Amino acid sequence: MAANLAIIMITILFLVIHHQTTTMAATNVVKTEVFRSPEIVMEPGLVSNKNYFKVDFPGGHIGLKSFNAELVDERGDPVPLHQVYLHHWVLNRYFARRNSSGDNDLSIVRNSGICENGLSQYFGVGAETRRTSTYIPHPYAIQVGDPATIPEGYEEGWVLNVHAIDTRGADDKMGCTECRCDLYGFSEAGGGLHCCPDDGRCRLKQGFHGENKRIYLRYTVKYVEWDSSSILPVDIYILDVTDVWTKADQSKGIRATHHCKVEYGVESCGGGVEKDGCVDTESVSFSFPVGGEVVYGVGHQHAGGVGTTLYGQGGRPICSSKPIYGEGNEAGNEVGFIVGMSTCYPTPDAPVKISVGETLTLVSNYSSLESHTGVMALFYLLLAHTDPKPLPTLASKFTMVPEFVWPVALLGLVVIVIVVAWNGRNGNSEGYEAIP
């Protein structure tokens, strides 16, 4: 009887623990969905810079783990940058009034900062998209779809902006990708986004003709179902080296502001300067409004970039992100283009923290052997504002069983001990006498 009772109690305990750990494991399963944007029709020299509202996206209360994208053709084959240059893609979250047909009746949900005049996206990179990791490590994720945060009568949606430049037959491919104004028919000097708008055209070689090309932005979303007991939210901060920071002054009623210009130009160092000395360095320092632990960091630069670094107070390095240049012709390895940016993933053994009000400095370096227009130096930072819970291991999983289980298990063990002791004292249930 004692043996049978022991087996029953152990079985019950095992089933409860197995159910709890199985449920917990299922909650954290990373799901993957692949979508593609509406069709983008390109022709040599043409610019497409359109917003696509209500794009396909996973629904429900979820935690985003990554968002990767690339340009593909009708067959799904990757389109190389030397044919169609992906200046950038940007994914924005918004709330829209239900049953509204217009795009004007919506409100963009900005990331956590710090620029006030743009850079509101949740995800966004450019030509480096294929070889730049966007994965957020466990137990962290970007929380979206929380019903408690969506205003009554509204629904959550996503808008995708894709800025692509067809450089087939271009008179100056690199100049086209840098949106140099004179190549697009503008009389002003310099360049930037305002000179390569939607339906703009970059100058082609005389007599060049090419076929239309139908392309799409194929994007892959990885996510988990949200579970606040096992997932920690991270906040998104996008920093810009062109940020004009106005320091707060309470005595004068002045609040802190961040006006980000986003783009700037790099002047050529001219002849007679050693190659290693031709580096344009831009930097900005500002007080960071919040504190937290760095989960992920990556920079964004254009061709000519040689790296960007975020420093904390006193010059301590927080994250350094360097460009990866292509060396061939195939998609993802195009020579002359930045095809990836290195990322920072601090570990629990070597955490990187930012204090409230800490002075941060962002530094961007570009080669100035040649001039560059419309360059960028952004920094994408994910911060967790609470201490992470320890990850479940084979040993620690058993500590995650609900508290009520342990009294039941203990009671069962006590019963087993009593029964065994009673049988040992009075003999077994079949009436045999104990051996003296």
* Nearest CA-CA partner of 137 in 10, 20, 247, 234: 234
pLDDT surpasses 90 at 318: yes
Cα–Cα distance list, 181 to 55, 150, 167, 301, 411 (Å) = 32, 42, 15, 20, 80
pLDDT the model gives residue 429: 37
pLDDT the model gives residue 409: 41
pLDDT the model gives residue 400: 32
Decide the pairing of beta strands 317-321 and 305-311: antiparallel
pLDDT the model gives residue 253: 79
| Cα–chain center distance at 370 | 31
Q: Which residue has the tokens 């190659």?
A: 275
Kindly report which listed range (149-158, 185-194, 270-279) carries the lowest average pLDDT score.
Answer: 270-279
- For residue 361, give the H/E element and its range: strand 359-367
- For residue 85, give the H/E element and its range: strand 84-97
Percent of the chain with pLDDT over 90: 74
Q: Supply 49's token pair.
A: 């810079």
Report whether 87 contacts 184 (CB < 8 A): no
Amino acid at position 406, single letter: W
* Nearest CA-CA partner of 67 in 38, 40, 89: 89
Q: How confident is the model at residue 276 (pLDDT cuts 50, 70, 90)?
A: low
More confident residue, 51 or 21: 51
Q: Which residues contact 254 (CB under 8 A, 6 or more apart)?
A: 246, 247, 248
Rounded to a whole number, what is the largest CA-CA distance in the chain?
114
pLDDT surpasses 70 at 20: no
**pLDDT, the chain, mean:** 85
Does pTM surpass 0.85?
Answer: no
Kindly report which listed range (22-36, 162-176, 348-362) carries the lowest average pLDDT score.
Answer: 22-36
What are 107's strand-pairing partners? 95
Q: Which residues contact 114 (CB under 8 A, 6 or more apart)?
A: 237, 238, 239, 243, 258, 286, 288, 289
More confident residue, 248 or 121: 121
* Residue range 229-240, pLDDT digits in tens: 999 999 999 999
Strands (E), 129-179: 140-144, 154-166
- For residue 10, give the H/E element and its range: helix 2-27
Cα–Cα distance list, 414 to 15, 401, 405 (Å) = 19, 20, 14
Q: Which residue has the tokens 């994914």?
A: 91
Decide the pairing of beta strands 292-301 and 372-384: antiparallel
Cα–Cα distance list, 242 to 138, 255, 258, 263 (Å) = 33, 19, 10, 7
Report whether 153 contacts 97 (CB < 8 A): yes
Q: Round to whole Å and give the CA distance between 57 and 92.
A: 12
Q: Round to whole Å and give the CA distance between 382 and 296.
A: 5
Amino acid at position 245, single letter: W
pLDDT surpasses 90 at 358: yes
Q: Round to whole Å and give the CA distance between 436 and 429.
A: 18
pLDDT surpasses 60 at 267: yes
Instruction: Tell me the residue length of the chain.
Output: 436
Q: Which residues contact 94 (CB under 8 A, 6 or more apart)?
A: 106, 107, 108, 109, 156, 157, 158, 159
Amino acid at position 403, single letter: E
DSSP three-state, residue 312: coil
Q: Which residue has the tokens 């009593």?
A: 418
Exposure class string for 407-435: b at 16+ Cβ within 10 A, else e: eebeebeeebeeeeeeeeeeeeeeeeeee
What are the helix and strand counts (H, E) for the chain? 3, 25
What mean pLDDT is predicted for residues 130-145? 97
Q: How confident is the model at residue 398 (pLDDT cuts 50, 70, 90)?
A: very low
* Residue range 408-426, pLDDT digits in tens: 344 444 434 343 344 444 4
**Angle (CA) 143 163 30, round 5°:** 30
Residue 229 has what DSSP assignment? T
DSSP H helices, 131-258, are: 173-177
